[in-house]
Amino acid sequence: MGDNREILGNKSDHIETCLFMNKTYFCPKFLQMTTNRTFTMIKPDAVENGNIGAILEKITSAGFKIVAMKYTQLSRRDAEKFYEIHIERQFFADLVQFMTRGPIVSAILEKENAVDDFRALIGATNPAEAAEGTIRKLFATDIAENAVHGSDSDENAAIEGAFHFSGREIY
């Protein structure tokens, strides 16, 4: 589009615009409930190591409801777009290569205080610094292959969820 807007989700779901990384996006209706939702991805390393079930068990045992989930693989273009916030960073190319090397599980989770509670559940980005019992402490191998992604804000949770799911895929 000439006006620098991109569509996330299905056109019939759009109701308003939101700003992310200096771009205006049309936001689907399901983004109205962002305060109780977060987005996660089980990354290729955890999928390769057979940890999908154990990670989902930790998530649901912590009181999160899965309202959308899919098993998929990111294309190079999708990985570059999803992580474009890191494009100037030295690790960007390695991150894109890692995220496209195998399938992922993407999900939208629901719970009161979802973003903060999920960040606590997954632990520090570097598993060596993660608290005992956190997902990254249990399943990550290092800072680059850290098993899961978790949104860092309500706004990013909404945008990241819309990147992976249309409104009709959210329950």
Which residues have CB under 8 Å from 19's CB, separation 6+? 25
- Quick check: 158 and 34 in contact, CB under 8 A? yes
Which residues have CB under 8 Å from 151's CB, separation 6+? 38, 39, 40, 115, 118, 157, 160, 161
| Sign of the torsion formed by the C-alpha atoms of 74, 122, 111 and 26 | negative
Catalytic residues: 149
Placement of tokens 């308003």 in the chain: 16
Sequential DSSP letters for 74-99: --HHHHHHHTGGGTTSTTHHHHHHHH
Cα 17 → chain centroid: 20
Q: Which two tokens stand for residue 161?
A: 């969820």
